[in-house]
Amino acid sequence: MQTIVLTGAAGLVGSVLRAPLRRAAKRLILVDRAPLTAEAPNEDVRQADLTSAETVAPIIEGADAVVHLAGIPDEAPLPSLLEANVLGAHHVLEAGRRTGVPRVVLASSNRLTGCYPVTTTVSPEMPPRPDGLYGVSKVAVEALGRLYADKFGLRVVCLRIGSLEAEPTEPRHLATWLSPRDCAGFVLAALTHPDVRFAAAYAVSANTRAFWELTDDLGYRPLDDAESHGIAGGESFFAEGTPQGGGYADPVYTLLRGGLAASA
């Protein structure tokens, strides 16, 4: 590819993807509200807030694809999530429509289905069961992606990103871990697969205890498995009735972080 735009480039996922995307494109445009410094001749750094389609359009015009990661990455009050995650995605998609960018990869989340029990294998076609307000915002992001694919012809891939860590560190990661190597593999596949019009896919490593069905829509098969890291406590976490979101699905998590009033 000639040009890839990466929003949210200073974040955790963006930092993991920076080098692989730099190798995959002749030009990599890195966008974040935080200051960044170019690390290679083919990097172009832009400090910007994605506050409107008019702001985004000149940044992405002429690009082959946008990988949109910018947003709030965890539970927060719903107005903040709507502004940063839902409106931010809409601004990128709308700017892509206006400027003719052919493909957008959107960061969705495994927490879009975090209220399914651990004993259920979830496919991308199953109804959302978000484990919090953050998950709700990602339901809306995926709906926007589908709209722009169906109505305006953009190629859109929504990646339901797992627990991205250098190594798994807790029992839930036995199912949800996404290694940096597999993260790059999924994103590069989402950018290059020729037959995609719209796809929602889980981006997770090949964990033995995975909750989620991995499809062949993107043509990438993950390589790593959390089971090989010797994480203890799996038996208790994977007990009947436990939600896949673990602590994220606890009501207190949303009450404290989502700005909701406690019950009387």
Torsion sign (Cα): 191, 195, 201, 206 = negative
Find the Cα–Cα–Cα–Cα dihedral 91, 92, 94, 100, rounded to 10°: 150
> Nearest CA to 183 among 1, 29, 20?
20
How is residue 39 written in tokens? Answer: 């690390």
CB 110 within 8 Å of CB 159: no
* Separation CA 178–CA 174 (nearest Å): 10
- What DSSP state is assigned to residue 216? S
CB 220 within 8 Å of CB 176: no
Beta strand segments in 80-210, E: 103-109, 155-161, 163-164, 177-178, 198-203
* Beta bridge mates, 67: 6, 105
> Nearest CA to 69 among 1, 4, 151, 148?
4
Q: Which residue has the tokens 């796809």?
A: 199
Quote the radius of gyration of the chain (alpha carbons, Å): 18
* Separation CA 69–CA 138 (nearest Å): 12
- The answer to whether residue 134 is catalytic is yes
Of the residues 116, 134, 220, 248, which is catalytic?
A: 134
CB 175 within 8 Å of CB 207: yes
The alpha carbon of 205 is separated from its chain's Cα centroid by a whole number of angstroms, namely 14
Active site residues: 134
